[in-house]
Chain A
Amino acid sequence: MSFILIAEQILNGLQFGIMLFLMAAGLTLIFGVMGLINLAHGSLYMVGAFAAAAVAGATGSFLLALISALIAAAAAGALIEILVIRRLYNKDHLDQVLATFALILIFSEGTRWVFGSFPLFLDIPEYLSGPVSLPGGIEYPLYRLVLIVVGLAIASGLGFLITKTRIGIQIRAGENDREMIAALGVDISKLYTIIFALGAALAGLAGALVGTIQSVEVGMGEPVLILAFVVIVIGGIGSIKGALVGGILVGLTDTLGGVFLPRFFALFLDNSAATSVGSSLASMAIYILMGAVLIWRPTGLFGARA
């Protein structure tokens, strides 16, 4: 068990967690301000990944692919907000869950119809591939390091947006009291569309960035969606800071758990039993973490005190 292994796994967990943060940030904004559970967020992640793969395949430029992912996901988000989501704000959670579940079906089959059932390829560009030497003798992939940096930059950008800009004030006010800001003259429907499109763009960006290291296929968004929900529940609904902390916690727990739990059990069980117990505990680890957080703090770490 070397220091290099631990450091690399910590970095991997950090990278995973920050990508989860991108998904969770949009989700928590949408739920915090609009009170809407959006199951279709995973589909927006998928749309971003597919747009990036299609553009990268056509033009060969990774940068263009990322930009098109942002635009495609934001456009898809704005479209479904105007057509569907708008009618769901006043309905109860069950209807929202169902309508967005229906959207997942439509998006998934629609994507399968347009692109076929086989995964697409999205490659890491030349200038971002290869390892980087870090202090301590660690060789870490440059691309993953870039993901961490980009994610943290977006996190601070979002923090700046929320705390220092006019839209941020409206968002925070909307989280507090939706009807009041409407009464004070803020154009609610435009604000909601912007927030939804922003969340969708973040999800699409995450999809495009992660699509290079995992495959771009239909249904890639669902596992990430569930994890993103776990993140916002742990972090507290409506809190960007909570989404970041929750995301990093979940990312680290999942990665480190998967690597070290089997080894831990190997100390006093035989190898095959250790692997099976360890890996099953590792896959359940995040949910156990969420359950523990909810039992200790029923509204999440940074959520509003009920």
Chain B
Amino acid sequence: MIKERYLNISILALFVLIPAYALFVDEPFTITLMTRAAIFALAALGLNIALGYGGLVSFGHAVFFGLGGYAMGILAYHAQNYTPFMEWPFVIDGTKSMPIIWLVAVVISALAAFLIGVLSLRTSGVYFIMITLAFGQMFYFFSISWSEYGGEDGLSIYVRNGFPGLNTLDPIQFYAICFIILSAGLFFVHRLARSPFGLALNAARQTPQRVVTVGLDPTRIKLIAFVISGAITGLAGALFADLNRFVSPSMFSWQLSGEIMIFIIIGGVGRLFGPVIGALVFVGLEHFLGGLSEFWHIYLGLLLLSIVLFGKGGIIGILSGREVKHG
């Protein structure tokens, strides 16, 4: 039984050591893989706020991932074409500056999360799952039919966006950006879980009625959590689009929503580093199992089944014990 704090530190160390080693032996592909893992970890970190701490099973979180990605794609597309995004009532040009794109991605995802949350939180249980799934599908089909930004073919951005002072095309520098953002996100969630808001959210997940008797509104708390969760996943989406220099409607797909949930389940629901280790394991499996067999999804499916049926609390749960009870 390893204490959770030491486990968390070792996972973070993995995210530093593996790319450092890859840099040393000159394997840029491994650095790219770790970047992918870090971005997925950020996306799952966002979902974990809603799912793990808030108890909201959102099967449509890919909406925010896709919105972040398309925010980046649309702005960069207009920048590389030298055409403005909007001409009336005021001119908005495209931009290829990462910080601005991140801000836009976060704001748009937060707005979307607010709207979706207001409508979806009127329901609960399986209806909530279905309505979030439906919103995901809505955005998916909408992006397919919006042919100005590629439609089904997606949108390619030729040159990675710029971060002041860094060469973002260098794999290790882009990884450093993603890793720092992931660490900042982890610190934020760590503080959030211990803040009065986080405690209230936890209570709202477990017994909403008691929260009401204490004088708080569980729906409002869950809505705020949902908005924060969407914003973080949106940021991850913008980074993902930058990594691949490509956005497509598949960023909205429900399979991706399911995959983000899988990262959390593999790692441990409601645990701070659950999404992180889950994303790392998934990307690792994707790479190694995919090399072994063309039908590696079968093994992934079997692994998932065994975790759900027999594994208590994901990887962190198995190693650290059930410090957090999830009924």
A residues whose Cβ falls under 8 Å from a Cβ of B: 31, 37, 84, 87-88, 91-95, 97-99, 101-106, 108-110, 112-113, 222, 226, 229-230, 233, 237, 276, 279-280, 283-284, 287-288, 290-291, 294-295, 298-300
Contact = CB atoms under 8 A, between A and B. Distances in A.
Nearest to A225: B254
A290 to B, nearest CB: 5
Interface SS, A side: helix
Interface in B279-327: 295-298, 300-305, 308-309, 327
Contacts of A110: 295, 298
Interface SS, B side: helix
A20 to B, nearest CB: 15
B211 to A, nearest CB: 19
Interface residues of B, number: 43
B138 interface: yes
Contacts of B142: 280, 283-284
A88 B310 CA distance: 11
Contact of B145 (A37, A91, A98, A280): A280
A294 B254 CA distance: 20
A93 B125 contact: yes
Nearest to B52: A94
B129 interface: yes
B301 A103 contact: yes
A105 B146 CA distance: 30
Contacts of A222: 255
B123 A298 contact: yes
Contact of B147 (A276, A284, A299): A276
A161 B200 CA distance: 48
Interface string B68-100: 000000000000000000000000000000000
B127 interface: yes
B203 interface: no
Interface in B103-140: 119, 122-123, 125-127, 129-131, 133-135, 137-138
Contacts of A279: 145
B223 interface: no
B304 A97 contact: no
Contacts of B193: none
A97 B127 contact: no
Contacts, number: 121
Interface string B183-202: 00000000000000000000
A95 B303 CA distance: 14
Given A280-B142, A280-B146, A294 B127 contact: yes
Contact of B126 (A31, A106, A113, A280): A31
A280 B295 contact: no
A276 B146 CA distance: 7
B309 A109 contact: no
B298 A113 contact: yes
B297 A109 contact: yes
Contact of B141 (A93, A112, A283, A291): A283
Contact of A106 (B123, B144, B254, B302): B302
Contacts of B254: 226
Contact of B135 (A37, A98, A287): A287
A103 B305 contact: yes
B172 interface: no
B137 A102 contact: no
A291 B119 CA distance: 8
Contact of B298 (A105, A280, A300): A105
A233 B132 CA distance: 12
B238 interface: no
Of B123, B146, B308, which is in contact with the most chain A CB atoms at under 10 Å from its CB? B308
Given A105-B297, A229-B133, A294-B123, 20 more contacts: A87-B309, A91-B308, A97-B261, A98-B304, A99-B305, A101-B258, A103-B301, A105-B298, A106-B297, A106-B301, A109-B301, A113-B295, A226-B137, A233-B130, A276-B147, A280-B145, A290-B130, A290-B131, A294-B131, A298-B127
B62 interface: no
A288 B32 CA distance: 39
A279 B255 CA distance: 23
Contacts of B59: 97
Interface string B135-168: 1011001101111000000000000000000000
Contacts of A104: 301
B262 interface: yes
A92 B206 CA distance: 13
Contact of A102 (B125, B127, B304, B327): B304
Nearest to B135: A287
Nearest to B258: A101
A294 B122 contact: yes
Contacts of B308: 88, 91, 95, 98-99, 102
A229 B130 contact: yes
B145 A276 contact: yes
B44 interface: no
A295 B119 contact: yes
B130 A230 contact: yes
A279 B145 CA distance: 7
Contacts of A112: 295
B182 interface: no
B101 interface: no
Please give me the 6 A-B residue pairs with the lowest Cβ-Cβ distance, nearest first: A105-B301, A280-B145, A283-B141, A102-B304, A106-B301, A287-B134
A226 B138 CA distance: 12
Nearest to B148: A276
